[in-house]
Amino acid sequence: MTQQTVVSRTEGWLTAWVGQELVMMSGNNGNYISLSETGGRIWELLEEPRSVQSICEALAGEYEVSREVAGNEVFTFLDQLKQQGAVHVETPSVE
């Protein structure tokens, strides 16, 4: 995954805010995920496909952290969502 990787939600996830957590369940495979407030914000940002760079910039501005710190956390988080089947990642080919 790179800064240019485009991330999109995988179809079939039901979500609901419970307090400050976003609870997610896959209608397709029954996976269940509970996200922190920040994780839930990333999910909201993915309403439309976005680049990792765009996500990092949005979070850096909203949470007043550096893009580097946001990037480290976002890469790890998106990789976990990918492993759960919650997101699809597409890295543009380098020509």
pLDDT digits (tens, 9 = 90+) for 56-85: 999 999 988 888 888 888 999 999 999 999
CATH assignment at residue 17: 3.90.930
Assess if residue 75 is contained within a domain: yes
Domain count, the chain: 1
Q: Which amino acid is at 85?
A: G
- Cα 80 to chain centroid distance, Å, stands at 9
Mean pLDDT of the chain, nearest integer: 91
pLDDT digits (tens, 9 = 90+) for 16-49: 999 999 999 998 888 899 999 999 999 999 999 9
Q: Are strands 32-35 and 50-51 parallel, antiparallel or unpaired?
A: unpaired
- Residue pointed to by tokens 């580097």: 68
**φ, ψ of residue 88 in degrees (nearest 5):** -115, 135
Assess if residue 90 is contained within a domain: no
Assess if residue 21 is contained within a domain: yes
Q: Is the whole-model pTM more than 0.85?
A: yes
Q: Which domain holds residue 77?
A: 6-85
Assess if residue 92 is contained within a domain: no
Q: Decide: helix, strand or coil at residue 88.
A: strand
pLDDT at site 21: 95
